[in-house]
Chain A
Amino acid sequence: EAGVAQSPRYKIIEKRQSVAFWCNPISGHATLYWYQQILGQGPKLLIQFQNNGVVDDSQLPKDRFSAERLKGVDSTLKIQPAKLEDSAVYLCASSLDLAGWQYFGPGTRLTVL
């Protein structure tokens, strides 16, 4: 069974630039999550989708971060404009439903210079 796919794996940008990350969840998984993991910390939930609807985006910095899951499958996370403190690994995870175990993708490592 294919796991959660993410791209790109690495991205280096300068501050104030824009960047987008893509996630393809495990087939049939209704729930999709985006996490931010800063070096030395555990993952922090940014946004959670159930199909194409947002369930929780309380920790998403909405002035610069946006995410969508228009068709209820793939998702994109965008940062515009990026700040130095956005340097982190962005992890996508999916689960069968809201209460299911979460499976993580390999992450996108973002460096903002």
Chain B
Amino acid sequence: RKEVEQDPGPFNVPEGATVAFNCTYSNSASQSFFWYRQDCRKEPKLLMSVYSSGNEDGRFTAQLNRASQYISLLIRDSKLSDSATYLCVVNRMDSSYKLIFGSGTRLLVRP
């Protein structure tokens, strides 16, 4: 079983739609959580951190449920430019902080 699991998609939605991605993690020692965005043939870029209290950045809302070991990302009013792969990432401490990436969920926003 992978340490971070995501639905690979693709999610194919029209412009203006609301779309939600989910992610589960198996290691309860995970300490911090992020969503990264990766465009085709580009490097991953940090989208936002995820907190138990929930956090919002414009059209993006991220939520963490530690009890269920579940992370979500909600995108409202989807734009064509939101088309990308969204990577769920957890940060845990072994000998050092280590980022563990999910395989990503692909989003396609159509006109």
Interface residues of A (CB under 8 A from B): 40-45, 48, 50, 55-56, 91, 98-99, 101-107, 109
Contact B96 A42 (CB under 8 A): no
* Chain B residues, CB < 8 A from A40: 8, 103
Q: Are A104 and B44 in contact (CB under 8 A)?
A: yes
Among A40, A42, A48, A104, the most chain B Cβ lie within 10 Å of the Cβ of A42
User: Interface residue count for B (Cβ, 8 Å)?
Assistant: 20
Distance between Cα atoms of A94 and B94 in the complex (Å): 18
- What would be 8 A-B contacts, judged by CB atoms less than 8 Å apart? A42-B87, A43-B99, A44-B101, A56-B96, A104-B44, A106-B42, A106-B43, A107-B43
Query: Does more than half of chain B's interface fall in helix, strand or loop, or is it mixed?
Result: loop
Listed in ascending order, the chain B residues whose CB lies under 8 Å from chain A are 4, 8, 41-46, 87, 89, 94-99, 101-104
Q: B97–A42 contact, CB under 8 A?
A: no
A103 to chain B, nearest CB (A): 8
- Complex contacts, A44 vs chain B, CB 8 Å: 101
In the bound complex, what is the Cα–Cα distance between A42 and B103 (angstroms)?
Answer: 4
Residue in chain B with minimal CB distance to A38: B103
